[in-house]
Structure 1
């Protein structure tokens, strides 16, 4: 395999929307990936929180193979068994009564925005369309979800944005309360701001937000694209805040690597969607639904993987904490839940990501100066020790 030619062709034929590393990944197994040149990589990125079972998990592979031999796609004008079973499973283990399936997180959030507006218009009138989101948030790259995203750097070049959105500081209840007016129909928040630098709210923030929404008749939308499906140590992050939303969105880890998104809602809200008002050609097709079903069933089996996620998350936090003590002039803080962890640095972290890549460890830089760790939930102490060893070497060079 001519790696250089492949990369040259990639640069020639693919739109320049990603700053790609100079590697062609060809194989994955568990926590590891291999490039076309045979080099091995330890994956603490997991396809940006997607490969929660690791690469090529046997149960996921078998589910995809079996479904592909029977039925890959059928229109949503007909019923299909994997989709029905997946919808029931998600409702059984959440607050929700109904599910809408799509192909991605952005589409799941787009559906949530449309559902919130349609429900509120029908219940309160045509002017009830305002949606409040948080500064530093990230909700997707369609025009509606881009507008919902509270980061101007993502807006640049795509104006005019859609009307009806406003932004408040994350974890500031008083600011949120003050931003509500008679036209507010929904508040849309991430339980943890992942792309925004792994920002975690105070323990009582979401309880106050939930009470406020209930009192004023405003819908609470939780974007769990990154935090859902076990990433934080429970199936959904909202469980850890002692609340329930009105609408919830999922994607990323839901299909274990196969693209699928989901918008979950209470019955009262979901009934605003009627035949013909929203849809998705590929949403929840048999192949994607079978993959997601296998993924969720694996996560739920005896609770072993979720408890291991919490245990390994604590081990990783403690290990990073020791690094913090060794390099206080480089590391500002460490924060996270489960296996979504951020380490904030005193400087741009892209050079750290590059140095780790060169040493065979894949991590991510977000918000400019925060290293983000999102390994598959099958990560072991040995894997974490390897990461820490590489980070220590890199930090020593920086200091």
Structure 2
């Protein structure tokens, strides 16, 4: 076995077939560049699905991880640890929150948020106030609870019966929410920008209206900022741009810059409902993950970095507009900051992955957001010259796919 080549074919031999990874296997990353087993170089505009906020092997993150690994790896939740406490303090200082719960992923952070919302209403109102409203096309994770809250039926198929007490209405449709919400609603859950649902931002009026309806019915407002958080939109968290504060916020992906970590943030009065033994995570608050996240947050929270995100986003948009002027391939380019989605015209609907594959063949890594949207979620500090180089390669890929 030790002599067997590590190839893409080995994936099919030993891995559960729930993924369909590309043919190339990356072995090294530096900044926004990646190299595969054959030494081929790629420009990374995928960011590990909006995770690699500072690119690959950022020296400050490598230093934080190395230093922590030489001291303390793990203690579980039986004891606290210094990186966990420092990170929690920074998150509360930088946001609306008073309290933090650490997990390993966005799904786990959302699981904690949904459980907290139900328990808070159970304690403070009644057991009947347990209904959760989410939005069609939303995505909140792959656990059974989170996949049921998510508004995409394809992810629930075959895993029924679904968790009870969850309903869905259309995103950006305030009238639909108003018709559904009631005094039995314990929480409304939303992404400020739907990620997997196609990079669809909430309108200002909608997000303000959702907050008002939650207040009216004494329901908690949960923002899933797993994808939009930690500088992705040019604000540390997207709620700060909207000027609308949630009761609970979840964050992951960019929070660890590639090291698995998630967190749920909330007010102190709500947090009281998670008393000792009501929820937990063996790895949550892991010293290494928290040390990396702390170093990343110190960088990303700087105003010049956040301002740079917005400037770099305009550079991406400029390239996409030029491509569209030539090919008329996108109905629109939407999103915020460095979370951008280019929706394909009707003729190319369902073929977003063709653009991903064509781009990879030209040496640039991009994403899809559903079958109709090409997604870009690069490092927040990607060099301008590399943006130009990578988007020139993407333009060449489009030329080859749709005809120069």
- What is the TM-score with the length of structure 1 in the denominator? 0.97
Gaps in structure 2 of 5+ consecutive residues: none
Tell me which residue corresponds to 1:249. Answer: 250
2:364/2:394 contact within 8 Å kept: no
Match of 2:355 in 1: 352
Partner of 1:227: 228
Aligned to 1:339: 338
Q: Distance in 2 between matches of 1:275 and 1:153?
A: 36
Partner Cα separation in structure 1 for residue 121 and residue 30 of structure 2: 46
Once the two structures are superposed, the pairs formed by residues 73-112 of structure 1 within 5 Å of their partners are 73-112=74-113
Q: Distance in 2 between matches of 1:365 and 1:6?
A: 24
Identify the residue that residue 391 of structure 2 maps to in structure 1.
388
Alignment of 1:210-225 (within 5 A): 210-225=211-226
In the alignment, which residue of structure 2 is the partner of 1:376?
A: 379
| CA contact 2:183–2:217 (8 Å) conserved in 1 | no
CA distance in 2, matches of 1:225, 1:13: 30
Native 8 Å contact 1:60 1:294 kept in 2? yes
Contact 1:3–1:36 under 8 Å retained in 2 = no
Shift of 1:305: 1.3
Aligned length: 397
Deviation of the 1:50 alpha carbon: 0.5
Query: CA offsets per residue over residues 84-117 of structure 1, 9 Å max, x none?
Result: 0000000001010000000000000000000000
Residue correspondence of structure 1 range 232-381 to structure 2 within 5 A = 232-301=233-302, 303-328=303-328, 330-346=329-345, 347=348, 348-381=351-384
How far does residue 4 in structure 1 lie from its aligned partner after superposition?
A: 6.1
Query: Is 1:65 matched up with 2:66?
Result: yes
Contiguous gaps of at least 5 residues in structure 1? none
- Contact 1:3/1:24 (<8 A) preserved: no
Counterpart-to-counterpart distance in 2, 1:5 and 1:75 = 33
The answer (yes or no) to whether the contact 1:150–1:167 under 8 Å persists in 2 is yes
Aligned equivalents of 2:109, 2:202: Cα separation in 1? 23
> Within 1, Cα distance between the matches of 2:363 and 2:353?
15
Q: Which residue of 2 is the match for residue 44 of structure 1? A: 45
Contact 2:181/2:217 (8 A) holds in 1: no
Residues 55-204 of structure 1 aligned to structure 2 (within 5 Å):
55-204=56-205
TM-score using structure 2 length: 0.96
CA distance in 1, matches of 2:390, 2:179: 44
Is the Cα contact below 8 Å between 2:182 and 2:217 reproduced in 1? no
